[in-house]
Amino acid sequence: MNVERYIEAATRENTRRSYRSAIRHFEVEWGGFLPASADAIARYLAEHAESLSVNTLRTRLAALAQWHQAQGFPDPTKTPHVRKVLKGIATLHPATEKRAKPLQLAQLERLAAWLDVQIAHAEQAGDVRMHRSHLRNRALVLLGFWRGFRSDELSRLGNC
């Protein structure tokens, strides 16, 4: 068995994409150098404290930590200085969660029933395009609900 295959499978593609974006932001948009010092990372956090959410900054830190570890460098994101800066940002810029309310089972049942009716109507009308569209939508809604997918994960499944 290939160890690299299992290491690759341990991290979701979504996470890898997010981490690549974070590293690119640090290097290209902000002009940071890797490997980075704890002071550079603290400055990066401070400069983006008002424009990025605390959760986004935490994701950026996780990406920078992973990069340093993967390259065999000491992880500057875990230093007390960086942690204190992040804590200060979280205190001065508290996050306002904008989470969508989760879909309830009763709502899912109503949506699936409505789609079933639409599927039947499209089939009776001989509308192949709408029939397939409603079948796809029903499958995506059920898959997303039961697998706990986020909308962005569902949208990246490809054109069904």
DSSP for 24-66? HIIIIIS---SS--HHHHHHHHHHTTTTS-HHHHHHHHHHHHH
- Is the pLDDT at 29 greater than 90, yes or no? yes
Quick check: 159 pLDDT over 60?
A: no
* Residue 160: inside a domain: no
Domains contained in the chain, number = 2
2 or 115: which leads in pLDDT: 115
- pLDDT for 60: 97
Does the global pTM surpass 0.75?
Answer: no
Question: Are residues 48 and 12 part of one domain?
Answer: yes
Per-residue pLDDT tens over the stretch 34-92? 999 999 999 999 999 999 999 999 999 999 999 999 999 999 999 999 999 999 999 99
> Over the chain, what is the mean pLDDT?
92
CA atoms of 155 and 128, how far apart (whole Å): 22
Evaluate whether residue 98 is within a structural domain. no
Is 100 inside a domain boundary?
no
Interatomic CA distance for residues 145 and 132, integer angstroms: 20
Last residue of a domain, one of 70, 92, 114: 92
Structural domain span for residue 44: 3-92
